[in-house]
A and B are shown apart, each in its own frame.
Chain A
Amino acid sequence: MIHTATKDLIFPSLPYEYSALEPHIDAMTMEIHHTKHHKAYFDNLKNAIQGTEMESMPFVELLNHISRYPMVVRNNGGGHYNHSLFWELLSPQGGGEPSGELREAIIKKFNSVDEFKNNFSDAAKNRFGSGWAWLVVKTDGNLVVSSTPNQDNPLMDVAECRGIPILGLDVWEHAYYLKYQNRRPEYIANFWNIVNWKVVEANYINALSALR
């Protein structure tokens, strides 16, 4: 997705049924989140770049230099990138713990997988308002947990903590309100049951080679 010219981006279908993540995320939430929220970001992005130099830019280049472009592109481009990544990170067969190189890197940085999860969960709980929590590979190759407001992400030059996101959690209320209402911490706790660590591990390896 990230190297595609922005005008050629496609609206992705989900790699599972809307009901596949139940009981952790309900079918209605998934359907509205994908067909309404994500679709609106995608359509708004396409409209906003029409007839501009942004059309032919690789999507990652646009995000890396987002401060030069209109706010509508930052909001909707981020919305498209973040949701496209998010869907792939979830799986009805998810949960458990990471393995391989990612596991080693997490333990090196956070001491244990549980401490990493606590750290990431705190970032998700403490994001005030709408936004995302991230596990990021920084430009020096090290892992870090961060969070961004609204639809910003660590690829953007406006982000406080920059790098390549390999795991993200949507904490906009629309991601959980129908099932969890004000109980964001419960949504975050259940997120760990559906994380597809195989995808996160692949994202980690890809991020390292992109930085080399």
Chain B
Amino acid sequence: MKMRKALLGLLTTVLFPLSASADLPKVDAILLPPPMVPPALDRDYPARVKVELETVEKVMTMADGVEYNFWTFGGQVPGNFIRVREGDQIDFNLSNHPSSKMPHNIDLHAVTGPGGGATSSFTAPGHTSSFSFKALNPGLFVYHCATAPVGMHIANGMYGLIFVEPKEGLSKVDREYYVMQGDFYTKGDYGEAGLQPFDMQKAIDEDADYVLFNGAVGALTGDNALTANVGETVRLFVGNGGPNLSSSFHVIGEIFDRAYVEGGSLLNENVQTTIVPPGGATITEFKTESAGNFILVDHAIFRAFNKGALGMLKVSGEQNTAVYSGKKADTVYLPEGSTIQEIGNTQTPRPKIALNFEEQMSMGKRTYEQNCQACHQVEGKGLSTAFPPLANSDFLNANHKRAISVVKHGLSGKIKVNGRTFNSVMPSLALSDNDIANVLTYVLNSWDNKGGTIKANDVTNSPKPENTSSAH
């Protein structure tokens, strides 16, 4: 009797899930193309969810003037976003468009079973495969085509995201967006126009021509930029289809308040850059505190600026100057010396001292070329109204002591040279007293100046003006 009861109990446990799945309410999944995300599920119970997804091979724009024959889930890259609930029973129908050249299948990382669905979904052009799975684990998962050669199917754009929403749901946010990175390999280099074929060798070498968000250069910039208002909370569902390159996902000017590490249940906070591996995903959330454009990048930064991995979030609203002031002022920076400061090191060879006028001239010339010529130009001609001339300079020849002070301590403010007014800055250069003596001697004896010799002692004894900016 006891045994019978136990057996009965066992039977009910075994049978229950079957009958439960059959009795589940039936719903059709809402699938949306990027960057849109289907709305949060308002169910607090599992359902039998029907998902219809189509594989299509089609030519689309990869960059300005560059076309590519993408292989897609749903007609764009990445594939349509699928949103189901933990515990849902999913009836998946994969249709391969009759115009396809290739058979395709789907491996959903959310599936627990051989091939992640790939074994059951291998579909010739013009056919539909159906299979069913239970969404056991919550999280953000990648799906992709796994037909041989797998790498080529992925490299041509066959990936997308499926989000298995946890039973308890996610916190409410104001905006949700779908961003997926992928690397592309074309016969022509980046930007080379025309219909570009896939380059197998570059793919094997992992030498990507394009690294893209949502399948095209500019898919998330300009008119296609993501939008939000100041004070809103934004959730980004971020995936990486690969095939080869990991993404160092970063939003310039934002900090992820929360990041679900690798799209799983582990919550990290205050994250600057989060890694999204090929075949992996992450969920990031942040509150927009300030208006402006926020740039989405793969922070392996040449990919952003040279290969296309660039998106934009436009946040409109009031500036919050307490959080970010914007530029308040632009002032002159006058460091003590632009050359590297010397730290007392007895091993340093002693600088060579000029022993006569000729040596002063040749060493002064070298000092001039290294430190002065960039502004005062070759032969001391100066540069328009920015940098006064040193050639035949009345200002220079009139007062050698002043000249020493200018080089040693710097000069800022209005001066008049050869009848023209200059209002600029000369930084104090970290030159030795010997160098200053040499360079001034060189300048005084060049380019129609009136001559004279400056000694290192004169420089040493030059007093620091009380206020450099009011020296004149």
Q: Decide whether A and B are members of one complex.
A: no
